[in-house]
Copies of this chain bind each other. A is one copy, B any other.
Amino acid sequence: MGDNLQGANLLQFLLDSPADEIKTTLEDIHPADILDALEEYEGDAILLLSRFPSDVLAAIIEEAEDEDKGEILDLFPHEQKTEIISEMASDELVDLLETMHPDEASELLHALPEEDAQEVLELMRHDPETAGGIMATEFVAIREQMTVKETLEYLQVYGEEAESLSYLYVLDEDGILKGVIALREIVVSPFDEHIGPMINTNVISVRADMDQEEVSRIFAKYGFNSIPVVDENDKMLGIVTADDVFYVVEEETTEDMEKMAALAHSEKDYLDTGVFGLAKQRIFWLLFLMISATFTGIIIQGYQKELASVVILAAFIPMLMDTGGNAGTQVSTLIIRGMALGEIKLKDYFKVLYKELRVSLIVGIVLAAVNFLRVWIFHHDPPLAFTVSAALLFTVILSKVVGCTLPMIAQKLKIDPALMASPIITTIVDALSLSVYLYLAKTIYINA
């Protein structure tokens, strides 16, 4: 990829070449690379962009981050805006309009031909996080009586506008999806063959109201390039393509990770977020967890007398808290990720719980044994070693049980399991395990 037109090379070319040469060359450059080059440009973007043809500008806006789309379009006068957006795919136009003020969006829509505007309005009625919200309406429908050659001739006329040609769709007179045929099957077959027998009638489709995360799971399962979207009567509405979903998977995983780290969701990249934006993303959960942690403090206060008489007891609090937190994080991460990937289901709960009880027993005994030796060697106090190790074993078992249970309860209650991750579990396990530790210390160690 060394001598390709990318980055600084491409920018230099755009600055140095005459407009007609730019036009021919840009057809071969991916819009993602043009965007990269523009980002390196320190002059006024419009000086470069004004020399680009409308279809390239449309492709650049489609490729840009959501928050930049409107900004790029706004560089152009009204007539040219209409020209650019009429080159955009329906799903991308919807994304663009959704970033705009409603008045501005409606003004742009009115400049489009009536039929196109209607189609876009129809698309905007779907929840943006569903199959309907990310689908494009440009697909190719064919009739099953066609031969291979007739199909190819049909594509020569009607194929250009389609979002994807990987699959062609067979619909009945009411638009109900009846079959699908892969373009690759057509192009490897003789011209005079009839396509009827090649049609797959066992079509895998998704409902328009299906959540995009579920759609992405179907893509992952089947490895398709695109999937047809239908309404509740199996009427075909559009297609979702794999590259739309690639982005969804990344986005949803990032959201899960944010929740697991006690962060509010942010649409923007870290470096593009201001200091106050970042602070806002973090402060709610930190406050909530800080106040929750004071319960643990109250528990400790209840044992002031014991702690005052045997201050060494306080020295084991950090180790118990950290181990409980870590053991809980391990299992909650496995469960949350497993559920997100569809590998662990609610009905597996008792299987998971039984597994965790046995795992925590093994892990807990090993940790307790190591800890017993350590305390014995350094403090020469077997009863103390016993007390701390017993509390540690209890902490490990408890954290594994809480760590696998909370995410699954959340799922059952239709709350995102990712919210039941490390920070909340740590807070709960801390309170419980310190209670047990101090109780054991009081009854076994001090009063014995």
A residues with a Cβ closer than 8 A to B are 1, 4-5, 25, 27-30, 32, 152, 155-156, 159-160, 162, 164-166, 183-184, 187-191, 200-207, 219-225, 242-243, 246-247, 249-250, 253-254, 257-258, 260-263, 269-271, 275-276, 278-279, 282-283, 285-287, 289-291, 293-294, 296-298, 300-301, 304, 307-308, 311-312, 314-319, 321-323, 325-327, 329-330, 332-335, 337-338, 341, 343-344, 348, 351-352, 355, 358-359, 362-363, 366-367, 370-371, 374, 396, 422-423, 426-427, 430, 434
The docked-state distance in angstroms from the alpha carbon of A300 to that of B304 is: 16
Chain B residue numbers with a CB within 8 Å of A335 are: 270
The docked-state distance in angstroms from the alpha carbon of A25 to that of B202 is: 9
Q: Which of B187, B253, B258, B333 contacts A183 (CB 8 A)?
A: B187
The docked-state distance in angstroms from the alpha carbon of A405 to that of B286 is: 20
The docked-state distance in angstroms from the alpha carbon of A312 to that of B291 is: 17
State the number of copies, please: 2
Chain B residue numbers with a CB within 8 Å of A341 are: 250, 254
Q: Are A156 and B290 in contact (CB under 8 A)?
A: no
Q: Are B296 and A307 in contact (CB under 8 A)?
A: no
Chain B residue numbers with a CB within 8 Å of A298 are: 315
Chain B residue numbers with a CB within 8 Å of A338 are: 269-271
17 contacts between A and B (CB under 8 A): A4-B202, A166-B166, A254-B341, A257-B337, A271-B351, A282-B359, A286-B330, A287-B366, A293-B323, A296-B318, A296-B319, A297-B319, A300-B315, A301-B315, A307-B307, A314-B317, A322-B427
The docked-state distance in angstroms from the alpha carbon of A327 to that of B293 is: 14
Chain B residue numbers with a CB within 8 Å of A4 are: 202-204
Q: Are A30 and B282 in contact (CB under 8 A)?
A: no
> Shortest CB–CB separation between residue A351 and chain B, in angstroms?
7
Q: Are A246 and B271 in contact (CB under 8 A)?
A: no
Q: Are A327 and B282 in contact (CB under 8 A)?
A: yes
The docked-state distance in angstroms from the alpha carbon of A261 to that of B327 is: 9
The docked-state distance in angstroms from the alpha carbon of A287 to that of B152 is: 65
Q: Which of B5, B262, B279 contacts A202 (CB 8 A)?
A: B5
Q: Are A187 and B262 in contact (CB under 8 A)?
A: no
Residue in chain B with minimal CB distance to A292: B322
